[in-house]
Structure 1
Amino acid sequence: MQRRTLIQSMMSTPLLGAAAASAARDSGPLASAGYSSSDSSQKSMGLLRPKRLEAGMTVGLVTPASNAWEDEDIRFAGDVVRSLGFEVKEGKHLYRRTQYLAGPDAARAEDFNQMFADSHVDAVFCLRGGYGTPRILPMIDYGLIRNNPKVLLGYSDITALLNAIYHRSGVMTFHGPIAAQNFTDYTLAEYQKVLVHGERPVPLGAPPPFDTAPGRVEKRNRITRFAGGRARGRLIGGNLSLMTSLVGTPFEPDYRGKILFLEDVSEAPYRVDRMLTQLWLAGKLQQVAGIVFGKFTDAEASGNTFSMEHVLRERTADLGIPVVRGLMIGHVEDQTTVPVGAMAELDGDAGTLVLRESVVS
């Protein structure tokens, strides 16, 4: 099931406003999770980098959102992680399913927190996305993660966790492949240069010239330069739908001076227009130093509609910042790994995004 179908079936409650979010912090699940409005910000805490990945480490496998349809798919994900040179520790609730969720919220949050509490677990990989991570954000122990920084890897619905943890814990997280997918040569190389070798400076997401995945029509991967210039800033972002869902909550990252990267899947141009408009109306797009659009795959468009290119260009035209489209970020087989929280440089004229610092210790 596509992530949008899951969201449509689930999301019936509007986002909390600022007053409701404040009240939730003072009494309710946020307060019980240890969150309070007096918590220090990520900036004042200082940024933490997790350990680089090495063969023989133990990776915790969790399902914070939806689960795979069949148990064999979960076992496949474990084999993928082992093929990368790691031992696997499965979450206690890894095989649970509650309709479109991978078990109850409390069970998914328990597995996630436990992986960071376990001194024998060196990194945490997400089995898949789907829908569900926003529901467990108040249950995450951000102080525990701060005291036990580890590589957290995933994308799509995992976007909510990646940005919330960076914002609340001050720990870099990683928007990249999920465990339940094949690592193409490109995906493996991008993952290794960031998380294994810790290279810097290093370009992120530069597209290969062709899409040669079996069964697909070969097409040229292209960089589109919407606006030139250069910008430096720390990276935030991921799935556009999830970034929009965080607006007005205590878990949205600070957009000021950041380089924002965005992608999505199965979203028609008008829906992408609506979400970008919301970020613009909330003043978020006006705060960033630059924008990188990855892939907007399987975009449903029929009838009298703007193209995706038109929407992305028009919604960012008046910002006066570099904007680029086409890096290998998103629901694609050839996929880069983007460190949330890392310092990067966007060159709108060259169409490049360069990581300026090592993101693992």
Structure 2
Amino acid sequence: MSRIHLIAPSGYCFAQDAAQRGVQRLTEAGHQVSNQAVISRRFQRFAGDDAARLDDINQLATLENADIVMPVRGGYGVTRLLENIDYSAIATRLRNHPLVICGHSDFTAVQLQLLATENAITFSGPMLAGNFGAPEMNVFTWDHFWQAITSPEFTLCWSSASPACQAQGTVWGGNLAMLCSLLGTPWMPDIDGGILVIEDINEHPYRIERMVLQLHQAGVLRRQKALILGSFSASKPNDYDNGYDLFAMIAALRQRLAIPVISGLDFGHEQRTVTLPLGASGHLLCHDGRASLTLKGHPTVNHCGKIYSHH
């Protein structure tokens, strides 16, 4: 049994039924879900005004009786809060009393800031409404979430028509748009020799390419050992593209970038998604149409709710 604390630092949860279904699914599995009042909180398009949403995050520094922190959903909002988040206090709490923090999408900015400023590891993975509250829970997503946050070391394997390669380094990244939004700010992680993993939703292939090239032209990609592409949901091209689709875009990136570009990982806004510890140590291996990524060095929680740190 784990104690899950909800936060809502981004957009209003318009899918209230999905969020409630997520709470029910988790509680029926034996877990406690606290702070449910944030599910219905609303101010304009946001899940509460800036002060309330900022308090959700800063309260993590003194949070008790919780093992897992999870946003209700993504959507724009955390960018408004960045200057006022007390990363040092949150990181001190995490060092003294480790906490599994898991989310994705807009929440990526908070996760990368914690990594950049305090070297704190969080998990990029499912959230309450979109994943745990889906009409039918994806079995892979459910199983892998609990595996990732309870195992001090685990390996992902997937099919990938990618060039043979091997790399070892810090695994980091998350939502591509949020990653690019941090360029030039104090909250962009300064990582050399890393394995960068990216995903996004509702971005046309040319916009994905433009953001990846922004990372390339800013000097970020040349400092990495590999780039792993997750899912890019709703990226369908149109007639104007004349054959320029996601596959053509990936082929163009492979020709241009000096690092391996590995595709095919189930990671992102789809119902089927892996859970990745951002900031953990990773070992990537690609060979004969198969890819594997072994991760270790991240905090875990056992089924009785106790958190362990493996640094």
1:323 is matched by which residue type in structure 2? V
Cα offset, 1:71, TM superposition: 4.1
Q: Does residue 203 in structure 1 map to residue 140 in structure 2?
A: no
Q: Do residues 101 (structure 1) and 37 (structure 2) align?
A: no
Q: Once the 2 structures are TM-superposed, how far is the Cα of residue 298 of structure 1 from its aligned partner?
A: 1.0
Distance in structure 2 (CA, Å) of the matches to 1:279 and 1:111: 30
Letter in 2 for 1:184: N
The match for 1:174 is 123
CA gap 1:346/1:303 in 2 versus in 1, 3 angstroms: same
* Ranges in structure 1 where 5+ consecutive residues have no aligned partner: 1-54, 208-221
The amino acid across from 1:339 in the alignment is P
Residue in structure 2 matched with residue 158 of structure 1 by the alignment: 107
Q: State which of 134, 141, 165 in structure 2 corresponds to 1:187.
A: 141
What displacement does 1:301 show? Answer: 1.0
Q: Distance in 2 between matches of 1:229 and 1:74?
A: 41
For 1:338, the equivalent position in structure 2 comes to 276
Deviates more, 1:65-74 or 1:283-292: 65-74
How many angstroms does 1:157 deviate by?
Answer: 1.2
Determine if contact 1:163/1:252 at 8 Å carries over to the other structure. yes
The answer to whether the 8 A contact 1:93-1:108 is kept is no
The within-5 A match list for 1:1-361 is 55=1, 57-90=2-35, 93-149=38-94, 150-180=99-129, 181-182=131-132, 183-196=137-150, 198-200=151-153, 202-204=154-156, 206-207=157-158, 222-225=159-162, 227-305=163-241, 306-349=244-287, 350-357=290-297, 359-360=299-300, 361=308
Q: Provide the C-alpha distance between the structure 2 equivalents of 1:322 and 1:274, rounded to a whole number of angstroms.
A: 18
Q: Which has the higher strand share?
A: 2
The percent of aligned pairs where both chains have the same amino acid is 31
Question: Whole-Å Cα distance in 2 between the matches of residues 269 and 142 of structure 1?
Answer: 34
Q: 1:316 to 1:116 in 2, by over 3 A?
A: farther
Amino acid at match of 2:101: L
1:285 positional shift: 1.1
Contact 1:163 1:253 in 2 (8 A): yes
Deviation per residue, 1:119-140 (Å, 9 max, x gap): 2222211111111122212221
Structure 1 residue 319: deviation in Å? 3.4
Distance 1:339 1:84 in 2: 23
In 1, Cα distance between equivalents of 2:69 and 2:141 = 18
Whole-angstrom distance in 2 between the partners of 1:191 and 1:74: 18
The two structures have a TM-score, normalised by structure 2, of 0.86
Give me the whole-angstrom Cα distance separating, in 1, the residues matched to 2:205 and 2:6: 34
Amino acid at match of 2:25: V
* Deviation of the 1:275 alpha carbon: 0.7
Report which stretch shifted further, 136-145 or 330-339.
136-145
1:224 counterpart letter in structure 2: A
Q: Which runs of 5 or more residues in structure 2 are unaligned?
A: 301-307
Q: Given that residues 146 and 169 in structure 1 are in contact (C-alpha distance below 8 angstroms), is that contact kept between their aligned partners in structure 2? A: yes
Distance 1:61 1:339 in 2: 19
Task: Give 1:137's aligned amino acid.
Answer: L
Task: Say whether the 8 Å CA contact 2:4–2:69 is kept in structure 1.
Answer: yes
Give the letter for the 1:261 counterpart. V
Taking structure 1 as reference, are residues 337 and 322 closer, same or farther at Cα in structure 2, changes over 3 Å only?
A: same
In 1, are the aligned partners of 2:168 and 2:281 still within 8 Å (CA)? yes
Between the aligned partners of 2:57 and 2:27, the Cα distance in structure 1 is 20
Equivalent AA in structure 2 for residue 236 of structure 1: W
Q: 1:168 to 1:94 in 2, by over 3 A?
A: farther
Q: Could you say if the C-alpha distance between residues 177 and 319 of structure 1 is closer, same or farther in structure 2, counting changes exceeding 3 Å?
A: same
Give distance in 1, aligned partners of 2:16 and 2:121: 31
Q: Distance in 1 between matches of 2:63 and 2:30?
A: 20
1:145, 1:169 within 8 Å by CA — same for their partners in 2? no
- Report the Cα offset of residue 317 of structure 1: 2.9
